Amino acid sequence: MVSEGVGRSTQKSAFDAIDPPDTELYLDCIHCGFCLPACPTYRILGNELDSPRGRIYLIRSASEGKIGISDNFVKHMKLCLVCRACETACPSGVQFGHLMESARGQVKRNYTYPPAERRLREFILYYFTDADRLTWLLRGLRLYQKSGLQALVRASGLLTLFGRLGEMEGLMPSIPDLSLRHALPEMTRAIGPKRGRVGLLAGCVQSVLFPGVNLATARVLAENGYEVVAPKGQGCCGSLLIHEGERERGKAFARKTIEIFERAEVDTVVVNAAGCGSAMKAYGDLLHGDPQYATRAAIFGKKVKDVSQVLAAAPMNGKLGSVPLKVTYHEPCHLVHGQRVRSEPRTLIRSIPDSQFVELKESDVCCGSAGIYNLIHPTEARQMLERKLNRIAESGAEVVVSGNPGCLIQLDVGMKRRGMKVRVAHPVELLAWAYDAGAGEGGSKAMVRAVK
């Protein structure tokens, strides 16, 4: 099994008292090894300590005071994607994602990253958790793209001189018109018989880089009888912070998100970004020790649904026109493994007239995006992406759909780099195209088409 040279020790736990990994959770692991072939990092690195049971072994050892929060401990914790594929594979139901997020919280408080990595992490989390700051940052980068300077710089080979910054530039998606972030109405009225009143999380990255996804989400929900409220004042849900161990900051965002949607008085909170939805559904666990928010968070979490869950619950309303495209589906980790939503996106794709759905081999294997993983660990992320691109090429699809902004960016950048003529879209965009086709050109659909 695992060999780390850990001996017996009478030391107290390496973890502090703030949200330590739950003893009962890591004791659920029976060391059977079913998680090994499901783990992307174990697949590419072949190191037992970079498998789920290896990481659980380290967490238990630190909890029991046998090892400290050392460089080696941190290396194996941060190399994890927290994709949670091991949870799907585990016969014992080990809640590995919760364990890992708690362990990363301990790392955050009890370990100091090297200066360069610390600054990079702080930079990413500062900008990617605030839509206003991200918009400000991307204004200059959009000019860099639109002016043709990006093409010149990439052709020159200069990016290789800039190390990590050059690698990050290679992951830059096409930046849309940033003013479109504000095109999402605060209220979109239901069309036809009303099925309910839902709140829509606009998101940080989603609202800035994929405004068309939010517009398509509101429109398709409205077509199906939902009154859609996108409350003013909403901000980051905290998912990226929680994922990276910034638990206290994540809790602050969670409290604000709960308050915003409570005031909106909605039946359901709809999310079109898998990572956000997974975090929001687990607010009850995150805030279980908060006397003011524990009950509210548990109630809130039960209201959260991925947009595919809402739309697949009943037959589609309205006229869906022909979309004669060959479509495949990449499953976001935090949708399929975190939320256990697997059939609903496929149901939506299959509902579109004349589209040909083809299953993607290894559809539930991580593409390497994983929050900020592809920025922090570009080499490992690139290996995972290449395997995913091979599977997409084998499918022969013209469009690959996925319900998470990080996946959309990762796949689109990778396919453009390879010269693959495959379009990337969110499932609700595919549905919006079908409604466009059913209604003809013009009218209120122009706003959605403008950001394709």
CA distance 417 to 221: 34
What one-letter code names the amino acid at 346?
Answer: R
Residue-level pLDDT at 396: 97
Q: Look at residue 105 and tell me whether its pLDDT is greater than 50.
A: yes
Give the model confidence (pLDDT) of 233-257 as tens digits: 999 999 999 999 999 999 999 999 9
User: Tokens for 310?
Assistant: 């809402």
**Torsion angle of the four alpha carbons 434, 440, 441, 446, in this order, in degrees rounded to the nearest 10:** -50
Q: Look at residue 4 and tell me whether its pLDDT is greater than 60.
A: no
Q: Look at residue 267 and tell me whether its pLDDT is greater than 50.
A: yes
Averaged pLDDT for residues 356-368 = 97
Backbone angles phi, psi at 419, to 5 degrees: 80, 25
Residue 451 — very low, low, confident or very high, per pLDDT cuts 50/70/90? very low
Give the model confidence (pLDDT) of 440-449 as tens digits: 754 334 334 3
CA distance 435 to 448: 11
CA distance 137 to 155: 24
CA distance 417 to 385: 11
Contact 415, 424 (CB under 8 A): yes
Residue pointed to by tokens 């504000």:
182
Residue 10 — very low, low, confident or very high, per pLDDT cuts 50/70/90? low
Q: Look at residue 81 and tell me whether its pLDDT is greater than 70.
A: yes
Contact 243, 101 (CB under 8 A): yes
Give the model confidence (pLDDT) of 322-337 as tens digits: 999 999 999 999 999 9
Q: Look at residue 100 and tell me whether its pLDDT is greater than 90.
A: yes
More confident residue, 7 or 269: 269
CA distance 5 to 66: 10
Give the model confidence (pLDDT) of 401-420 as tens digits: 999 999 999 999 999 999 99
Residue-level pLDDT at 167: 78
Residue 156 CB burial class (10 angstroms; 0-12, 13-18, ≥19): exposed
Averaged pLDDT for residues 115-133 = 94
% of the chain at pLDDT higher than 70: 95
In 3D, which of 17, 28, 14 has the Cα closest to residue 289?
A: 17
Q: C-alpha angle with apex 383: 145 to 58, nearest 5 degrees?
A: 120
CA distance 211 to 174: 13
CA distance 227 to 220: 11
Give the model confidence (pLDDT) of 137-191 as tens digits: 999 999 988 898 888 888 887 777 777 777 777 888 889 999 999 999 999 999 9
> Residue-wise over 245-266: b if at least 16 C-beta within 10 A, else e?
bbbebbbebbbbbbbbbbebeb
Q: Look at residue 8 and tell me whether its pLDDT is greater than 50.
A: no
Q: In 3-state terms, what secondary structure has residue 194?
A: coil
* Crossing angle (nearest 10°) for helices 149-156 and 131-146: 70
Element (H, E) at 155: helix 149-156
More confident residue, 343 or 146: 343
Domains of the chain: 23-110 (1.10.1060.10), 115-169 (no CATH), 178-311 (3.40.50), 326-450 (3.40.50)
What is the chain's mean pLDDT, rounded? 92
Averaged pLDDT for residues 418-436 = 96
C-alpha gyration radius of the chain: 22
Residue-level pLDDT at 449: 39
Element (H, E) at 261: helix 247-264
Backbone angles phi, psi at 31, to 5 degrees: 60, 35
**How far is CA 452 from each of CA 169, 176, 404, 422, 429, rounded to the nearest angstrom?**
22, 9, 16, 14, 9
Residue-level pLDDT at 318: 86
> Which residues touch 438 (CB under 8 Å, ≥6 apart)?
318, 319, 320, 321
Q: Look at residue 258 and tell me whether its pLDDT is greater than 60.
A: yes
In 3D, which of 260, 270, 201, 191 has the Cα closest to residue 226?
A: 191
Residue-level pLDDT at 166: 78
> Which residues touch 450 (CB under 8 Å, ≥6 apart)?
180, 212
More confident residue, 144 or 395: 395
